[in-house]
Amino acid sequence: MLPLCAYAVLGAAKSNAPGFWTALVPAIALAFGIWQFRVQRDKSKRPDLYFRNESERERKFLQRQATRRMQIGALIGLFGVFALVGLYHPLEFYPLVWGLALFAAILALGWAGALAFADVVAIRAHYGAELDLRRAERLALEYKIKKFKENSLKELDKAVQEDGNAAPENETSKENSPN
């Protein structure tokens, strides 16, 4: 992977090739795409290693997410290849191949965009359900706390009233005492 990117960037030093910085961007896209593909493929192939502390529902979600992101990484790498090939092979030589490559690149970018959108929607749906569950639990706990406070205040008022009724007797007995 790295030699291919280095060749592409260093090949930019040729007189008919584009500049170094022009070739660097597609080379970075290619390297990032390959790296992302490898990382996400590993996650989707070995979920027990990466997601061992998660519930079964969470593990399945994370495995599907890794599969989507693996496809996005492959498409970013493919787009990097298209861009590098386009930099070094001018349009004038093979117009039909260029047209097909441009169409394929646009399709790849569209598919990557669709996968990214699906990833966002899936995350929102998955964690939205989790968030609703946590909100319901929080409301139930808040209700229990409110009831506990009300009961505690009632018991406190009751204890104060009992002490209040007992206090005048103690005060009158203190007044009648010889001290």
CA gap 74, 41 in Å, rounded = 10
State if pTM tops 0.75: no
* 11-55 per-position pLDDT tens digit: 544 556 677 878 888 889 889 989 999 998 888 888 778 888 888
Instruction: Give residue 73's identity as a one-letter amino acid code.
Output: G
pLDDT at residue 141, as a whole number: 95
CA gap 174, 179 in Å, rounded = 8
22: Cα separation from own chain's centroid: 31
**What DSSP state is assigned to residue 13?**
G
pLDDT at residue 117, as a whole number: 94
pLDDT at residue 25, as a whole number: 84
3-class DSSP state for residue 38?
Answer: helix
Residues belonging to the chain: 179
Q: What is the DSSP string of 102-122?
A: HHHHHHHHHHHHHHHHHHHHH
pLDDT at residue 178, as a whole number: 55
Query: Cβ(95)–Cβ(38) under 8 Å?
Result: no
CA gap 40, 68 in Å, rounded = 9
Q: Which two tokens stand for residue 169?
A: 């007797």
Q: Which residues in the chain come in under a pLDDT of 50? A: 12-13, 170
